[in-house]
Structure 1
Amino acid sequence: MEEKKVLNVTASPHVRANVDTQKIMACVIIALLPATVFGIFNFGIRALIIIVASVAAAVLSEYIYCKIVHRKNTTRDLSAVVTGLLLALNLPSSVPIWLPILGSAFAIIIVKELFGGLGQNFMNPALGARCFLLISFAGLMTDYSNYPGFNDKNAFSGATPLASLKAGRTVDTMRMILGNIPGTIGETSMIAIVIGAIFLILMGVISLRIPGTYILTFAIFTIIFGGHGFDMNFLVGELAGGGLMLGAFFMATDYVTSPITPTGQIIYGILLGVMTGIFRFFGSSAEGVSYAIIFSNLFVPLIEKATIPRAFGIRKPKKAKKEAA
C-alpha cells in the first residue's frame, strides 16, 4: 500500500529562513543584554529584582495558560522571556514588585494568548502591558526617585532629562547618550541600546528600514514642530531621551505587529515618527513612544493591504467606460 504524503498548506506570505522562533528570540535576548546590564549598574540591585520578577511572571503565565487550555507548552520558544524582559526594561526601578508581575501576566494572557498566542497578537505585548500600567498606576510608573543621581543636587532636580526638555530647561546630552540619567531601567543608555541593535542587524534579525525611517521622521518632525528649530542640543536630547531608541530597534520591529512589505515598513516608520512627535510636542506628557507604537500597530493590516504587491500577470481592473449618450 502506497504511503500517503501529507502536505501542510498555510496562508501566504511564505517566508523561508534557516532560523526558528527560538533562535530569533535568543538573538533578541542577547541584544538586550547591554541595556540590561547597564540598567542594573545604573539603578542597582532593585533593577535586577524587577527584571527577574517580570521575566519569571511572563514565563509562568504562559505555562499556566497553556496548561489550562490544553495547548502545547510554548515557553521554550523564549518569546515569553523577551516579553518579560522588554516590559522590565520599560519600568522604573522604584516600582513595587507586584507591578511587573501584574504587567507580565497582562501582556501574556490578555494581549498575547487570548488572541491565539505568538503570531496572532495585534499589538506588542510588552508595550500593551506598559500602557495598561501607565493608565492604571500613573504615579508608580513615573516615579524615578530610586535613581542615585537624585541625591546629587548638581546633577538632577527630580525630573527626567526628557521632562526637563519639555519644560524648556537645558540638559547634558552627553550624560543622556552614556546613560547616567534617571528613567526606566533599559532606556537610559543610548550607546548600550545601539550596541544591541547593531548585533541584531548583523545577525539579520532586523533591518534598518523601520527604525531608520522612524528616527529620521521624528528628527525632521522635531526640527519643524519642536519649537527650537535646528538646535542640535535639543534634537540630540529628544533622540537620546525616553524610550525612542529602545522602541525603534526592539519593539517597533516586532515581526508580528509590523508590516512585512518594504514599502509598508517605510510607511509604518513614518507613521511612528509623526505620532511620537505629536504625543511629545503637543501632548501633556514628555514621552509618547509606547502609545505611538501600539497605535501604529493597529494600522499594520491596512498598511499591508495597501502595499502588498500584485501577483505576476494580474492586472488591476480598469473602470468600465460609460457608454456614449
Structure 2
Amino acid sequence: MEERLLVTASPHIRDHSTTRGLMGYVVIALLPCVLASALIFGVQALVQVVVTTFACVAFEYLYEILNHKPNTVGDLSAVVTGIILALNMPVGMPLWIAVVGAFVAIVITKQLFGGIGYNFANPALVGRIVLFLGFTARMTAYVYPDMAVDALASATPLSSSVDLGAVNFLDMFLGLHGGMLGETCILAILAGFAILLATGTIQATIPVSIVATCYILTLLYTRDPYVALMECMGGGLLFGAVFMATDYVTSPFTTKGKLYYGIFIGLVTFLIRHFASMNEGMSFAILLGNLMTPWFNEWGHQVPLGFKKAKKAKAKKEGGAD
C-alpha cells in the first residue's frame, strides 16, 4: 500500500488541555496567596476575594444571557479574573468599589471586545488601573492587622519614606508589611509560581526576564544588591510577573517574543519607579507590554526550518533564468 506524506498547517503537536483545565491550575496556584492574605490581613481579605470573584462571574453570566451568547462561566476565566483583581486591592476596600472593578474587568475589557481570547489587555489589570486612577486614596490606603487585631497604617516598602536597606528580609519574604492583598507574601507567590511551572501552565521565560531585568537595572542604579533585591520583592513586581504578565491572550507566544516582552516590562517598571512620580509602575508596564504583544510576536517570529536555504535556492534559480 502506497504511503503518502500529508503536509498540514501548524500546530503539529497537540495535547488535551482545555481552558477550564488551565484556569483550574491558575486558581490552585492563587490559593497560597489567598490563604496568606487571610492570615496577614484577616477574614476581611477572604470576604473581599469572595465578593469580587462572585461579581466577576455574575457580570459574565448576565452579559452573555442578555446578549444571547453561549455561557462561558464554566471555563473559570471569570473566577481567575475575580481572584486576581481582589488580590490587587488593599484590605478594607469598600465592596462596592470592588464590584465596579469587576464590571470594568469583565464587561468593558473582556466581553465588549468579544470575550475570552479577544481582550486587548489582562482584564484584572485594567480593572486595577481604573480603580487606582478613580479611587486613588482607597487604593493606596495600605493597612494590616497586627497581632492584637488592631488595624495599623503601614507604608509600603517602596514608599520614599522607607529605607530599603534597613528593611528586614524575613518580613518582606513573609509579607509582614502594608500593600495589596496578593503582593506582600513572597513565599506564597513563589509557591504559586512552582505550581504553574509543575503543571506546565506557564513557562518561566516571562517572569524570570521581568524580575532579572528590573533587578539588574536597579543594581546598576543603586549599586546595592540588597536594595535591588528588596525592590524586586516589594510592590506588585513578583505577583504581576507570575500571575498577570503571563496571561495567554495578551502575552507573546514565541520564546523570543516572551523574552522581549519580559525585558520590556522590567525596563518600564524600573523607569517608572525611579524616574516618574509613582513608587509602583508594574501595572502600567504590563499594560504597555500587552499593547506591544503583536510587535513582540512579529520580532520574535521563528524562521521555519529550511526557509533560508529555500530562499537562497530560489534567488539563485531566478538569477540563472535571467
Q: Does 2:248 align with 1:255?
A: yes
Aligned residue number for residue 215 of structure 2: 219
Aligned residue number for residue 230 of structure 1: 224
TM-score normalized by the length of structure 1: 0.87
Aligned residue number for residue 293 of structure 1: 286
Aligned residue number for residue 173 of structure 1: 169
Deviations 1:41-74 (A, max 9, x none): 1111211111111000000000001011111000
Find the aligned partners of 1:143 and 1:157 in 2 and give their Cα distance: 8
Find the aligned partners of 1:163 and 1:169 in 2 and give their Cα distance: 13
User: 1:62-77 alignment to 2 at 5 Å?
Assistant: 62-77=60-75
Gaps of 5+ in 2: 1-7, 316-322
Aligned residue number for residue 100 of structure 1: 98
Q: Does 2:269 align with 1:273?
A: no
Aligned residue number for residue 323 of structure 1: none
For residue 239 of structure 1, report the CA deviation from its aligned partner: 1.4
- 2:192 equivalent among 191, 196, 208: 196
Partner of 2:166, secondary structure, is coil
Asked if structure 2 preserves the Cα contact closer than 8 Å seen for 1:57 and 1:84, the reply is yes
Aligned residue number for residue 139 of structure 2: 141
Aligned residue number for residue 57 of structure 2: 59
Aligned residue number for residue 110 of structure 2: 112
Asked if structure 2 preserves the Cα contact closer than 8 Å seen for 1:34 and 1:196, the reply is yes
For residue 261 of structure 1, report the CA deviation from its aligned partner: 0.4
Find the aligned partners of 1:30 and 1:36 in 2 and give their Cα distance: 10
Aligned residue number for residue 233 of structure 2: 240
Aligned residue number for residue 33 of structure 1: 31
- 2:178 equivalent among 168, 178, 182: 182
Aligned residue number for residue 5 of structure 2: none
Aligned residue number for residue 6 of structure 1: none
Asked if structure 2 preserves the Cα contact closer than 8 Å seen for 1:57 and 1:101, the reply is yes
Deviations 1:126-168 (A, max 9, x none): 01110011111111100013x1249899xx8731122156667
Aligned residue number for residue 319 of structure 2: none
For residue 15 of structure 1, report the CA deviation from its aligned partner: 6.8
Asked if structure 2 preserves the Cα contact closer than 8 Å seen for 1:150 and 1:157, the reply is no
Find the aligned partners of 1:243 and 1:251 in 2 and give their Cα distance: 10
For residue 94 of structure 1, report the CA deviation from its aligned partner: 1.6
Asked if structure 2 preserves the Cα contact closer than 8 Å seen for 1:165 and 1:237, the reply is no
Gaps of 5+ in 1: 1-8, 319-325
Find the aligned partners of 1:142 and 1:294 in 2 and give their Cα distance: 20
Find the aligned partners of 1:214 and 1:184 in 2 and give their Cα distance: 20
Asked if structure 2 preserves the Cα contact closer than 8 Å seen for 1:83 and 1:125, the reply is yes
- The share of aligned pairs that are identical, in percent, is 42
Asked if structure 2 preserves the Cα contact closer than 8 Å seen for 1:165 and 1:171, the reply is no
For residue 312 of structure 1, report the CA deviation from its aligned partner: 4.5
Q: CA RMSD in A?
A: 2.3
| Cα distance change, pair 188–152 in 1 and its aligned pair in 2 (3 A) | same
